[in-house]
Amino acid sequence: MHLPRTLAVIIAWLCLMTALHADTAPLNVLARPGLNLNGKWAMIIDPYENGYYDYRHQPYDATEPATGGYFLDRKPANKSELIEYDFDTAPTLTVPGDWNSQAERLLYYEGSVWYRRKFDYTPSAADHRLFLYFGAVNYRADVYLNGKKLGTHIGGFTPFAFEVTGQVQPAGNSLVVRVDDTRRVEAVPTVNTDWWNYGGLTRDVLLVETPAVFIRDYQVQLKPGSSNTIQAIVRLDRAGPAASAAVAPAAPAPVAVRVSLPDLGLSASGQTDADGVARFELPAPNLALWSPASPRRHTVELSTPGDRISEKIGFRTIAVRGADILLNGESVFLRGICLHEENPLRGGRATTEADARLLLGWARELGCNFVRLAHYPHNEYMARVADELGLMLWEEVPVYWTIQWENPDTLTNAQAQLTELIIRDRNRASVIIWSVANETPVSEPRTRFLKTLVDTARSLDPTRLVSAAMEVHTDPADSNHKIVDDPFGQYTDLLSFNQYIGWYDGLPDKLPKVRWTLAYEKPVVISEFGADALQGLHGDKLTRFSEEYQADLYAQTLAMLQKIPQWRGATPWILCDFRSPRRPLANVQDGWNRKGLIGENGTRKQAFNILREYYESRRFTAVSP
Ligand code: GCU
C-alpha cells in the first residue's frame, strides 16, 4: 500500500517517539561514578522551531539520516557550505538553571531553546553501562547524542534518563537538548497557573556509569504497621541496550543481594526473584526513629556481587487515627509553611543544595516542623536536606486548577509525574504526604481523575498519607458559614483545603464571625491562607498590601482556626514572595506575588513574627488547645 509521504513520515515519527520515551531515572545517581555535565552550555533561542522542523513543518528527526536540524550540531565542511547555526559561537546558559533569570531578553520568553554540551568520557570499567540523567527539564525535552535522537520526556519537575551504553565516544561527544516550555491546555500543569513558567535544564545533568547488572531502585522503610521491622525491596536492572530491545530473555538466574545497616548491626542476604527483585525484612528492636526533634538517619548499604550503593535513610511511621495525625504513634501538629521552588534573592528556580539549605533554613527559623513543597515536585536536594534538618514534607504534582480531566493523555502524564516523584523520594523520611492536586473545581470527571492518582500513589507507596488542596464553598444563606464537603475528601487521609477569608473573601474583620461545617471526621490541614504585603510598605490594618494588613490577617486567621476541633496543621501561603505573571500591579507587585512572609530581598515582614510566635506557642502541644 503506497502511503502519501506525509502520512508515512507521521507514522514513522509516532513509532519513533513511542520507542524513544525516556526511562525512569536510576535511584541515587549522585552516589555513582560518571561525569557531571553541569556548567556552561551553548544555547540557541528558537521561537519558530527552525531547528526542529523543516520549511514544510516536518520534524527533521523523523527521518534517518536527518536532512537538517540543530541537533546535528554541524559545522561547514568548507568555506562555501551553508549552515545557519553554530553552537560553538553561540551564547551560553548555566546548567542547572532556568533561562528566564539568566538573561533579561529571556525573562518572559516561552518556547524552545536549544542547549548543546560537548564532552569526553572513558568508562572506568570495561563491563559497564551508561545513562544520561536529567534531574528535571521544564517542560518537554527532546534529547540527542552525537546527532541521534535518544528520546523525549514530558513533564517539568521529575527526573528521567536515557541509556547510552556503547553510544559515548572517548572524545568530542555532542549532547543536544531541545527544551520547549510552551504551556498547553492538555499539559500538567495546564495553561493557567500562579507561578513563573521557568523553562530550561533546571536541574542537574549527569552521565552516570553503572555495572552491567546494577541496583536500579530500592525502597528501604519501616514495614507498614511496624515501628521495629525494616522492609527492603531491591530491584536490579540487568537488561543492557541490546537485551532490552530483544525479545524478553528466559527467566534470569537469581542474583545474590545483601542489605546491611552497619550502625545498627543489622544485615540480611537474599537473592532476586524472576523479576529481578529481592525482598527483605530485618527486625530492628533498638531502632532510633526519625522525627523533627531527632532526625536520626542510618547508613543503609545495598550490595550484589557486582554493585554496591549506600545512603543515609531515616525510619519513622506516619498514620492518621480519627482526627489525629500520628508521627511514630504520637499525635503531631504540623507547624508548616508553603514554598515555591524559587530562590527569591536570585528571582529564579532553586536548583542547588545551597538553595535548599537557604529556603529550609528560613522555614526552621520560622519555627516550622513541616513544609508544603508547592505545586510541583521540587528538586531532590529539598527532601534530602529536610531529612537532615528534621522537616516533614508535603510533596505535590502540578494537577492545578483547570486540568483536562477527560483527556486520557493528560491522566497518563499526571500518573507518570506522580510515579517519577514517588520512586525518587520514597526513601525520604521527611516526606509524609503525597498530594495529587491543588484547588481543582469539583466535577465527576475531576474526582475520578484524582481518585486514579490516589490509587497510583497508594500502589507505589502504601506507607505515606495522600491528600490534596480541596475546595471550600459558602452557604448561600450565610456568607460566614464555610462548608468543606468536597467529594474527593472521601479518598484522602487528610481534609486539607485552602481558604483566603480576609483577602479574597471579605476583610480580616470577617474572620471572627466565620463558622465551619466539615463533612469528614479527618485531621484538618489548612493548606493555604495568606495576604499580599509589599515588604516595607506600612499603613493601618485596612491598608491593602501593607505589612500591617498581612500581620493582622495572620493573627485573626490563627485565632479563627483554633475553633476547628480537628485542626492539626497549616501551611500558610507562603514563605517567600515569588514571581508570577498574574501580578502586574506597578510599584507593588511588579510581576511578583507578595504573599511571602519574606520579601524578594530576604527581609522578613511583620507577619513572619506573628506566625513564628504562634508556632513557638504550639511547639509542645499536638492538638488544639
Ligand atoms: C491559590 C493558589 C496559589 C496562589 C494563591 C494566591 O490558593 O493555590 O498557587 O498563588 O492562591 O492567590 O496567591
Whole-number pLDDT of residue 5: 55
Q: Hey, what amino acid is at 475?
A: D
Amino acid at 616: E
Asked if residue 127 and residue 93 are part of one domain, the reply reads yes
Please check whether residues 101 and 152 belong to one and the same domain.
yes
Residues 27 and 99 in one domain: yes
Pocket test for ligand 1, best of 438, 527, 528, 576 (most atoms within 8 A of CB): 528
Q: How many whole angstroms from 530 Cα to the centroid of ligand 1?
A: 9
CATH of the domain at 58: 2.60.120.260
Residues 352 and 307 in one domain: no
CA-nearest residue, atom 4 of ligand 1: 194
Residue 166 lies in a domain: yes
438 lines ligand 1 (CB under 6 A): yes
Q: How far apart are CA 146 and CA 569, in angstroms?
A: 52
Beta strand pairing call for 307-314 and 342-343: unpaired
620 falls in which pLDDT band (50, 70, 90)? confident
Alpha helices in 486-602 (DSSP H): 547-561
Task: Please tell me the distance from the alpha carbon of residue 107 to that of residue 348, in angstroms, as a whole number.
Answer: 10
Question: Is 410 or 11 the better-scoring residue by pLDDT?
Answer: 410
Give the whole-angstrom CA distance, residue 521 versus residue 533: 35
Q: Which three cell numbers stand for residue 569?
A: 496543621
If you average pLDDT over every residue of the chain, what do you get? Answer: 94
Distance of CA 53 from the midpoint of ligand 1 (Å): 37
Please tell me if the CB atom of residue 342 comes closer than 6 angstroms to any atom of ligand 1.
Answer: no
Do residue 261 and residue 204 come from a single domain? no
Query: Ligand 1: which residue has its CA nearest to atom 3?
Result: 194
194 Cα: distance to centroid of ligand 1 (angstroms): 6
Decide: 498 in ligand 1 pocket, CB within 6 A.
yes
Q: What is the CATH number of the domain that holds 590?
A: 3.20.20.80
> What order of strands is seen across the sheet that includes strand 324-327?
318-321, 324-327, 330-331
What is the average per-residue pLDDT within 213-242?
Answer: 92
Give the nearest ligand 1 atom to 595 CA.
Answer: 13
pLDDT at 588: 98
**CA-nearest residue, atom 12 of ligand 1:** 194
The minimum-distance atom of ligand 1 relative to the CA of 580 is 10
- Whole domain around residue 526: which residue ranges? 326-618
Which of 130, 97, 135 has its CA nearest to residue 113? 97
Q: Domain for residue 125, yes or no?
A: yes
Same domain assignment for residues 298 and 393: no
Å from CA of 416 to ligand 1 middle = 25
Pairing of strands 524-528, 495-498: parallel
393-423 pLDDT per residue, tens: 999 999 999 999 999 999 999 999 999 999 9
Query: Taking a C-beta distance cutoff of 8 angstroms, is the pair 220, 28 a contact?
Result: no
Q: How does pLDDT run across 276-300, given as a tens digit for each residue?
A: 999 999 999 989 999 999 999 999 9
Does the C-beta of 446 come closer than 6 Å to ligand 1?
Answer: no
Closest protein CA for atom 10 of ligand 1: 194
One domain for residues 390 and 424:
yes
Name the grid cell of 357: 539549605
The verdict on 342 and 459 lying in the same domain is yes
439 Cβ closer than 6 Å to some ligand 1 atom? yes
Are residues 395 and 508 located together in one domain of the fold?
yes
Distance 582 CA to ligand 1 centre (A): 11
Is 66 in the same domain as 169? yes
Counted domains in the chain: 3
Contact present, 434 and 457 (Cβ < 8 Å): yes
* Residue 515 CB partners (closer than 8 Å, separation 6+): 480, 481, 482, 563
Query: Using one digit for the tens of pLDDT, what is the confidence trace for 31-64?
Result: 999 999 999 999 999 999 999 999 999 999 999 8
Q: What is the pTM of this model?
A: 0.95
pLDDT tens digits, one per residue of 524-579:
999 999 999 999 999 999 999 999 999 999 999 999 999 999 999 999 999 999 99
The predicted model gives 170-181 an average pLDDT of 98
Nearest-CA residue for ligand 1 atom 9 is 194
Domain boundary among 268, 290, 316: 316
Q: What distance in angstroms lies between residue 571's CA and the mean position of ligand 1's atoms?
A: 12
